[in-house]
Structure formats: structure tokens, C-alpha cells
Amino acid sequence: MMQVVSVLAYLLLAPLAGALLDGLDRRVSARMQGRQGPPMLQPFYDLKKLFTKQMIAVNSVQMLLNLSYLVFLAVAGSLLFAGADILMCLFILSTADLFLVMAASSDSSPFSTLGAGREMIQMMAYEPLTLLMAVGFYLATGSFQVGDIVRMPYSAVLTMPGFLLGFMFITAIKLRKSPFDLSTSHHAHQEMVKGITTEMAGPTLAIMNIAEYYEMVLMLGLMALFFLNEHWWSWPVAIAACLVVYLLEILWDNAAARVKWRVLLDSCWVVTLLTGGLNGLILMLVR
């Protein structure tokens, strides 16, 4: 019963929460840059506007692939919020990403193809840590099931701080934050226009945005797993921790310049090895 409620809550509320967070993001970013910034509800206005736009497309499959991206993200998130296997959730997450990459390459347009290539490099950069993180949870709690992980007597972060650091590092990729916003970013003034979203317009772009909101909430859900335990007070702590991490990501976004793909790959892989790799090794040795 709880599972059904939580999955439904995710499916219905994740886009709202994601859009609100995006609104907050824009405002905080603007304040950091000494600007006023748009209203908190601006992402909703944007979505409304996108949906009312004319349906133009460069080919017949883009919309279908984009919708698949959205649905797979919803499935991945549902698995997480239903308390299912965390590895399966991560595998579906990368399948979802693949659909976005295919949507971008189906256009055969120079800018979106370039973005798709970079998106694949980004996936390669972050995937080792996500897999190791699942292993870390297994070592720390004895289960891959999210349902078991959140019912531990103490928070997982106590035994896996390294994984948390590594996860914070790669979250910048998933949230499309500088310095790792190689494949596309929220700003259209870069060397490859808008990257993977270059050829997406109107409702197609709106679907892509909603999917990103699902992904954002999914990532924060994974973040919360580090803090949740059997006590009720761990929930507000987890939510607060997620917000703090999100604010840190915004700060990093504004403070750092975009890096080249090589730096992205090297830094992610090395950080993964130093944080998750070491933390996991210690967990395995003391087990």
C-alpha cells in the first residue's frame, strides 16, 4: 500500500517538485549574479507556453523517442520510490538516457549529434560511480533493495561518506550544471547552440523538460538514500540535506567554467576511484 502511494506521489508530484526546484534554481542563480531573476513559477509558465506552440519537428521519430525517455525515467523513479532493487533502477536510468541520445542523433543535425556524442561521454563518466554506489549500499546494509536500505537503524552516510562525496560530484552531470554541462545547458549561448536539444521545439521540448524534472527528483531521491533510516526524523534531515546539496550544485554551477570532455572523464573516473572505490574497499575489508 505504502509502495503504491509513494509511486503515485512520485509520478504526480515529481514534475511539480522539479519545476519548483528549477524556479528556485533560477532565482538563486540570479541572486548570485546580482540579478533579480524570474518569478519562482517561471518554469510552469515556460511549460505552458511550450505546449501551446505549433508542433514542428525535423523528423517523425523524435517525439516518440523523447516520450520514451520520459516514460523510462518515470519507471526508473517508480522503482526507486517503490523500494525495489537499486541496481535495476540505475540500469533503467541509463536505458532512459540512451533514448534521449537516440532522439538527439535521429535528427542527423550537426549540433544535436555533437551533443549526443558528449552526452554519451557524460554517461560513461558517471556510470562507474552509480554502480559502485549500489555495491556500497549492499556492503553497508546487506541489501540492494531500497526498502531495506531506508529501514536501517542508522543512516548509510555514516559508513559511506566517500560515496556521498562522489555522488555529489557526478550529480552535477545529471543536473546539467557547469562545469559538466557539456551536452546541453540551460543557456543557449555556447559553442554548439543547445546541444542535444537544438532540434527540439514546442511540445517536444516541453516533454524533454518534464523528463528532466523526473530525473532531478530521482537523483535527489538517490541522495536522500544516504540519510534515511528507520527513525521518522531522518526524513526531514534527508530533505534538508538534499536541498543543501542542490544549493551547493548551484553555487558550483555559477563558480565554475565548463570543462573539456577529457577533463570531465578523467576527473569523474579519478574521483570515483578515490571516493567510492576507497570507501567500498574499506567497507569490504571490515565486513
Partner 1 sequence: MAIIPILIAWPALMALVIPSIRDTAIRGRVVYLGAGVVMALAAFLLVGWLQGGGGILDLVGPVPVIDHLMLAGEFALMALIVVLCIKYKKYPVILLSVAQTVLMAWSELTNPVESPTHLRIDCLTMLMIVIVAMVGGLICIYAVGYMKAYHHHHTEYRDRSGFFFSMLFFFLAAMFGVVLSENLIWMYFFWEITSVISFLLIGYTHTEEAINNSFHALWMNLLGGLGFAIAIVVAAQTIHTVQLNEVVADGAVIPVVLLAFAGLTKSAQLPFSSWLFGAMVAPTPSSALLHSATMVKAGVYLLIRLAPAMAGNMTGMMVSFIGGFTFIAASMMAIAQNDGKKLLAFSTISNLGLIVACAGIGAEETIWAAVLLMLFHAVSKSMLFQAVGSIENCLGSRDIEDMHGLLLRLPKLTYIMGIGIAGMYLAPFGMLISKWVALRAFVDANNYLLVIFLAYGSATTMLYWSKWLCKLVSLHHTKVQVTDVTRKDQYFSMYIHAGATLGLCLLFPLVSSKVVTPIIQELYGTAHEVLSMSVLTTMAIMLVSVLFVPALMFLLTRSTHRDYVPIYMGGANEGDNTYFVNSYGEPEHLYLSNWYLRFEFGRRRLMRPGVIISAGVIIVMMCVIIGGAV
Q: Supply the minimum distance, in Å, between the C-beta of residue 118 and partner 1.
A: 8
- Of the candidates 17, 38, 40, 85, which one interacts with partner 1 according to CB under 8 A? 85
**Residue 259 makes contact with partner 1 by CB under 8 A:** no
Show contacts with partner 1 in window 61-80 (CB under 8 A): 61, 63-65, 67-68, 71-72, 75, 79
Q: How many CB atoms lie within 10 A of CB 45?
A: 12
**Residue 8 makes contact with partner 1 by CB under 8 A:** no
Radius of gyration of the chain (CA): 19
> How far apart (Å, rounded) are the C-alpha atoms in residues 242 and 25?
13
Q: How far is CA 182 from CA 71, 83, 93, 213, in A?
A: 24, 32, 19, 19
The 3-state DSSP class for residue 145 equals: strand
Show contacts with partner 1 in window 133-162 (CB under 8 A): 135, 138-139, 144-145
Let me know the angle formed at the C-alpha of 158 by 147 and 280, rounded to the nearest 5 degrees: 80
Which residues are CB-contacts of 69 (< 8 A; sequence separation ≥ 6)? 96, 97, 99, 100, 103, 207, 208, 211
Q: Supply the minimum distance, in Å, between the C-beta of residue 193 and partner 1.
A: 7
Let me know the angle formed at the C-alpha of 13 by 70 and 66, rounded to the nearest 5 degrees: 10
Q: Which is nearer to partner 1, 8 or 284 (CB)?
A: 284
Which three three-digit cell numbers place residue 255? Answer: 563558480
**Residue 116 makes contact with partner 1 by CB under 8 A:** yes
**Residue 125 makes contact with partner 1 by CB under 8 A:** yes
Binding residues vs partner 1 (CB under 8 A): 54-61, 63-65, 67-68, 71-72, 75, 79, 84-85, 87-88, 91-92, 94-95, 98-99, 101-102, 105-113, 116-117, 120-121, 123-125, 127-129, 131-132, 135, 138-139, 144-145, 193, 198-199, 262, 265, 269, 273, 277, 280-281, 284, 287
